[in-house]
Homo-oligomer: A and B are copies of this chain.
């Protein structure tokens, strides 16, 4: 059975200290009366103990497998939660199972999160950062709005096999106004960003709003139908060319 690496290290340190104390007190009285000899013994034991402690610390720092080091970080918990949520939704977030997968104790979960609700909220926020904010930031580095649009589309239509996060978030939001608000904020941000890009690219505001809505819903349906298959670069490019012409209405493409 795996144990927490930090606790394991402390345990070994205590054992070695206790060992030194024990040996010292078990010495025969005639030897104990010999102060010089005793001093030597104490010093040898202290040096031995310090060596053990240094040895253990080196092993821990080198992440050698002799002592299993399974200090699970908050980010690891959140990533595990995102992965699990995308597989089977809120019902799939069984703390016992996740801690077994991560190789740590259940108490590790409660070190970072008050309860399941806080955990779900945090993982949804992290997922929004990864799936929305980062996509927006990455495509924003281009100068021309057309290049920003192409970058956005490439990011949208390259990613498959990421599970059903959005589906399960929508399911959870049905009975939770808090999750509903988070979901609505994410989706509105996505559509608003595309709308702004379309307007910058010269589309009239009304059309830009409609095209952005069309694009986002199309993306949801496309993801649903493509989620189990990997998608190649060439296919993505053909797909984006088609969207430029047939959905956005730039005859002949702009690339």
- A interface residues (Cβ-Cβ under 8 A, vs B): 164, 167, 170, 174, 187, 207, 210-211, 214, 216-222, 224-225, 228, 242, 245-247, 249
- Which 9 pairs between the two chains have the least Cβ-Cβ distance? A220-B221, A217-B221, A221-B221, A210-B246, A218-B218, A217-B222, A217-B218, A220-B224, A174-B228
Write the chain B residue with the least CB distance to A211: B246
Q: How far is the CB of A26 from chain B (nearest CB, A)?
A: 64
Given A167-B224, A170-B225, A214-B218, 20 more pairs with CB closer than 8 A: A164-B167, A174-B228, A187-B225, A207-B246, A210-B242, A210-B245, A210-B246, A211-B246, A214-B214, A216-B221, A217-B221, A217-B222, A217-B225, A218-B218, A218-B221, A219-B221, A220-B220, A221-B224, A247-B247, A249-B249
Task: Note all chain B residues with C-beta closer than 8 A to A224.
Answer: 167, 170, 220-221, 224
Query: How many Å lie between the Cα of A224 and that of B170 in the bound state?
Result: 9
Task: Note all chain B residues with C-beta closer than 8 A to A164.
Answer: 167
Task: Note all chain B residues with C-beta closer than 8 A to A167.
Answer: 164, 167, 224
Task: Note all chain B residues with C-beta closer than 8 A to A217.
Answer: 218, 221-222, 225
Question: How often does this chain occur in the complex, in copies?
Answer: 2
Write the chain B residue with the least CB distance to A228: B174
Query: How many Å lie between the Cα of A242 and that of B217 in the bound state?
Result: 14
For A246, give its contact among B214, B216, B222, B242 (CB under 8 Å).
B214
Write the chain B residue with the least CB distance to A227: B170
Task: Note all chain B residues with C-beta closer than 8 A to A210.
Answer: 242, 245-246
Q: How far is the CB of A200 from chain B (nearest CB, A)?
A: 19
Query: How many Å lie between the Cα of A167 and that of B207 in the bound state?
Result: 31
Write the chain B residue with the least CB distance to A174: B228
Write the chain B residue with the least CB distance to A217: B221
Query: How many Å lie between the Cα of A217 and that of B245 in the bound state?
Result: 17
Write the chain B residue with the least CB distance to A215: B218
Query: How many Å lie between the Cα of A217 and that of B214 in the bound state?
Result: 10
